[in-house]
Amino acid sequence: MERVRWGIIGVGNVTERKSGPGFRQAERSELVAVMRRNGDLAADYARRHQVPRWYDDADELINDPDVDAVYVATPPDSHREYAVRVAQAGKPVYVEKPMARTAQECEEMIAACDQAGVDLFVAYYRRAMPRFVTVKELIDGGRIGALRSVSIRNERPAPVGAAGQEGWRVHPEISGGGHFVDLGSHILDLLDWLLGPVTYAAGVATNRGGRYPAEDLVTGVFEFASGVEGAGIWNYDSFRHTDEIEIIGTSGALRFSCFAEEPLRLCTPDGEEQIAAPYPQTVQLPLIQAVVDQLTGHGRSPSTGESAARTSRVIDGLLADYRSRSIPGEELHEALQ
């Protein structure tokens, strides 16, 4: 394949700035079709983003002979279904994160793509962002010495107003969990890339605020393949906003946020150095380019179905007890069996 012609299933908010423009901006890539169940909204997106064709039926887009690969940008409860259908059509698929609601669904997606002989990618785009490439270069270059530990703290206040206003992201039958699944998956996947896969994880998930069915407080301890040990707190019923990862080595520490773009902080006995590391305007563009590079034989994507499934396994382990006790929804429970 010399050039990738993309179709998008589900042109919601994430495709407006974070991802959609990247399929036109990447080299050897173009966006030729979009789909949304509401045809008027699909047509509006196509008009505003100069996309030649729009559909209100996913199968029509999947089977469009001018679509080479498909980006699935729907909520997680339909990721497995669409990924399997795209694979069966013989086309590569790029799926939004989290990859699916459970690791079992991820495994089914991987199996379908393996059987069809097509590539599967997942939009854990921090693996390709220059900000985090800089983090990896600092770590791999020995700037903080031999790695020893990592700490994670991600907090935000509950929204002011009526309960239930946070949408599908806190309804496990759709999303697989709450903000931990939505946001925590980014952090865990990033650390998988920086420190190696998680080899051990244990923790507790609870719901303290009682505003929705999903967990709002998760604590975990981890060991990574690199030998690094760590601990994390994800609290979405806090009084404050906190977003910090700290990796500590024998010669220093590196502190950075996962979701903001303030400078990285390199701390050594000689003092603190701040390193500028802003986000790109289209945050998914570096990963989209890496995906296109792999599909056209010019490189490799750092985020695949296999790597993303590892993150889903860790999440499943941390949420297993909470899900078994607290979450309604027969379909999700069946997926967890």
Q: What is the percent of the chain where pLDDT is above 90? A: 93
CB burial class (10 A; 0-12, 13-18, 19+) of residue 237? middle
3-state secondary structure of 117: coil
Distance CA 292, CA 55 (A): 23
**Strand, coil or helix: what is 255?**
strand
Q: What is the pLDDT of residues 218-229, one digit of tens each?
A: 999 999 999 999
Mean of pLDDT over the chain? 95
Residue 297 shares a structural domain with residue 323: no
**Which of these, 287, 286, 247, 282, lies nearest to 264 by C-alpha position?**
247
- Over range 319-325, report the average pLDDT: 93
pTM of structure: 0.95
Q: Are residues 134 and 119 located together in one domain of the fold?
A: no
**Nearest Cα to 316, choosing from 53, 43, 104, 52?**
104
| Residue 147 sits in the same domain as residue 181 | yes
The answer to whether 42 and 15 are in contact (CB under 8 A) is no
- Contact predicate 191/277, CB 8 Å: no
Nearest to 6 by CA among 77, 62, 84, 82: 62
* CA nearest to 207, candidates 333, 71, 319: 319
Q: Do both 182 and 260 map to the same domain?
A: yes
Assess whether 149 and 258 both reside in one domain.
yes
> Quick check: 317 pLDDT over 70?
yes
Do 293 and 323 share a structural domain?
no
Q: Which domain holds residue 265?
A: 127-281+312-336
Distances 117 to 110, 113, 224 between C-alpha atoms, Å: 10, 6, 31
Give the least confident one: 103-107, 159-163, 192-196, 253-257.
Answer: 159-163
Note whether 104 and 187 are same-domain residues. Answer: no
330 in the same domain as 200 = yes
CA-based nearest residue to 241, from 306, 159, 186, 332? 159
Q: What is the pLDDT of residues 122-152, one digit of tens each?
A: 999 999 999 999 999 999 999 999 999 999 9
Compute the radius of gyration of the chain from its Cα atoms. Answer: 20
Indicate if 177 and 212 belong to the same structural domain.
yes
Contacts of 56 (CB under 8 A, 6+ apart): 35, 36, 37, 38, 39, 42
Are 102 and 213 in a shared domain?
A: no
Question: Beta strands 242-249 and 147-157: pairing type?
Answer: antiparallel
Confidence band for 330, pLDDT divided at 50, 70 and 90: low
Bridge partners (DSSP) listed for residue 95: 72, 122
Query: Which whole number is the average pLDDT over 54-82?
Result: 98
196-202: average pLDDT? 98
Same domain membership, residue 209 and residue 150: yes
- The answer to whether residues 28 and 106 belong to one domain is yes
- What is the CATH number for 175? 3.30.360.10
Neighbours of 256 (CB within 10 A): 24
Q: How many residues does the chain have?
A: 337
Number of domains present in the structure of the chain: 2
The encoded tokens of residue 255 equal 């502190």
Q: Is the pLDDT assigned to residue 41 strictly greater than 90? A: yes
Task: Say which CATH number the domain at 113 has.
Answer: 3.40.50.720
The predicted structure's pLDDT at residue 164: 60
Stretch (H or E) spanning 7 = strand 4-9
What one-letter code names the amino acid at 96?
Answer: E
